[in-house]
Amino acid sequence: MALLFAFPIPHSNYSAGMTTITALLCLHLLLFTVVRVNSIEPSSSSEDPYKILNIIPNPDGTFTRLQNYPETPPSPDPTLPIPVLSKDLTIDQSNHTWARIYLPRQALNTPPNHPNLPLIVFYHGGGFIFYHANSTYFHDFCVRMANATQSVVVSVDYRLAPEHRLPAAYEDSVQALHWIRASNDLWLAHADFSRCYLMGESAGGNIAYNAGLRAAAEADQIRPLKIKGMILIQPFFGGKKRTPSELRLAKDLNLPLAVTDSMWKLSLPVGTDRDHEYSNPTVNGGAKVLASIRELEWRVAVFGCDGDQLVDRQKELVKLLKDKRVNVVGQFYNAGRHGIFVGDASMSTKVFHLLKTLH
């Protein structure tokens, strides 16, 4: 079936950079999905996850992803008439991980030895299986965020499943934090390492959370980087027992339940199920390191909306954090869809507004 979660449908106030060709591709995917979506069963275990996600396994252990997502090159040239510059840097050559750094142009007027911009470490979505840091969908969001909040943004390109199942993405994400703290890059020199926030959308929200748990456990090792909080945008969590929102939106065109089930099958460690701690943060009463997050006085924000089948999972996370006395706020909205806070510029501003209040 066509995967609309990994290729969100454009809206009238979507980023101006979306091209007519992309819109036509999205329309094609929508029409194709409408034909197939009625065959989706809420809990079918017999469906081929490769077929559902439209990927093909290769003999060498890699996978061919049949969807092609637009990508945007970096713009590092300071003479360009743009508000935000961007460039790509390697994190780990052996793992082929890298990051795209976004720097507000105004920062060039400030000496790099006087860091004054907050640092946002961003993890893109895509069900652990799709997208990259240079994907236009997330690139445009990071440009808007760096400009609106006047922050240095580091968007991490981590290893993808099924080639690299979890916890590979978590390990890459924590490695990125160590890379940042030790970097002598002049752009990063504009960032105030004492004001660092971890942010992610969908699967990236899951990664930000799990990377945050690891970072809290080794807070002394990542200094002078000091994490102040996590912003989780419609984070991707699951569990064996279906929630009311999953059942209500099982055949939602934007994110069918068969798609999320397939993503978990191909991203979780082999032999585990959706009640693994990577998928379900509430198992066994939650991670013990949440006590450290409370002691470190991190602030956590969780964004969600009623039109997303994952919303009940997100509300469960907020409840868990409140029970652990973590400083958390849930920002939940009526209607909407999965991906709306990145794909809809008017909803992105709600995230940016909260970020500015944290600064």
- What is the spatial distance between Cα 129 and Cα 143, in angstroms, rounded to a whole number? 23
Establish whether 338 is a catalytic residue. yes
Helix (H, G, I), strand (E, B) or coil at 250: coil
Q: Which of 96, 320, 351, 91 is nearest to 209 (CA)?
A: 320
Peptide bond preceding 115: is omega within 30 degrees of 0, i.e. cis?
Answer: no
Alpha helix ranges (H) inside 17-156: 20-37, 49-53, 136-149
The answer to whether residue 202 is catalytic is yes
273 a catalytic residue: no
Q: CA torsion angle for 7, 11, 16, 21 (degrees, to 10)?
A: 50
Residues 8 and 131: their CA atoms lie apart, in Å, by 12
Question: Do the Cβ atoms of 120 and 208 come closer than 8 Å?
Answer: no
Task: Please choose, from the candidates 122, 123, 139, the residue with its C-alpha nearest in 3D space to the C-alpha of residue 84.
Answer: 139
> Per the residue annotation, which of 140, 308, 312, 344 is the catalytic one?
308
Catalytic residue among 155, 202, 245, 267: 202
Q: Which of 262, 338, 344, 348 is catalytic?
A: 338
Query: If you search the block for the tokens 């939106």, which residue do you land on?
Result: 249
| CA–CA dist 202, 339 (Å, integer) | 7
**Catalytic (active-site) positions:** 202, 308, 338
